[in-house]
Amino acid sequence: MKMYAVIDSVFRQEACFRTIAEAEKEIDSRKRYDREFTMENSDGIPGRDYLTIQIVERDSQPCKVCGGEATNTPEQYAGYPYCRNCYHTGSAADDQHMNDLSYFRQAFPDAEVGVEHTGGGCFWLSFRWENDPFYYAATAGDACVPDAGKWGDGWGCVCCYHEDEDHHDYDGRMLLYKELWDEEAGVELPGFTKRQVIAAIKKDRKERTAA
């Protein structure tokens, strides 16, 4: 497949795109970033001479979500149909768990429900409402969402958070928690179900509203 590679000669980075327009958009984005942090090259012009576009042939496939190059992702197994950016933003997980996500979105039609990347390769399922500083997050108990096929009863932790750093819920207030691994027996344990996750969030929101 012919790709347009944005070559960064300073940081030895390469990013590939299916169209030259996408590659040029990437360069513009990096120039804006450079200007914000006043990183200049030898000519004193941010981001001009160390970013180039080269046509390359890649044995790859387009990302299922954005159409970029589905290679160099943290998922090293063959056939992973997403690019690195979509992996880290949570867009890939959104697509992978579309059916399960629709279940949660139907339960909270007025909320923004989706998988978010929280940093360091960690993800959670978040529940956010417009103009509400409180939000909720659910994980499999170890800073990740359950694997595909385990969203039905693979939840280990549900917490309530607040956007204000000075609020006592900023670091999280636990609503549900359960260990999902038996160390002695060496076996996986069932977690909370989707219904239990939804019920816990609805109960807490109702109690906060009443208070």
| Tokens, residue 194 | 């989707």
What is the arithmetic mean of pLDDT over 120-146? Answer: 91
* pLDDT band of 52, cuts 50, 70, 90: confident
* pLDDT band of 36, cuts 50, 70, 90: low
Q: Does residue 132 carry a pLDDT above 90?
A: yes
Q: How confident is the prediction for the chain on average, in pLDDT?
A: 82
User: Percentage of the chain with pLDDT > 90?
Assistant: 36
pTM above 0.75, yes or no: no
Q: Count of residues for the chain? A: 211
* pLDDT band of 77, cuts 50, 70, 90: very low
pLDDT value at residue 45: 45
| For the chain, domain boundaries | 2-91, 97-210
Q: How far is 183 from 198, CA to CA, in rounded Å?
A: 28
| Tokens, residue 171 | 């670091």
Secondary structure of residue 182 in the 3-state scheme: strand
pLDDT value at residue 70: 76
Q: What are phi and psi of 63, to 5 degrees?
A: -65, 135
Instruction: Note whether 172 and 160 are within 8 A (CB).
Output: yes
Q: Does residue 66 carry a pLDDT above 50?
A: yes
204 or 34, higher pLDDT? 204
Q: Which residues contact 197 (CB under 8 A, 6 or more apart)?
A: 104, 138, 155, 158, 176
pLDDT value at residue 47: 46
* pLDDT band of 65, cuts 50, 70, 90: confident
Q: How far is 196 from 186, CA to CA, in rounded Å?
A: 25
What is the arithmetic mean of pLDDT over 90-101? Answer: 87
pLDDT value at residue 37: 53
Cα within 13 Å of Cα(20), Cβ side: 4
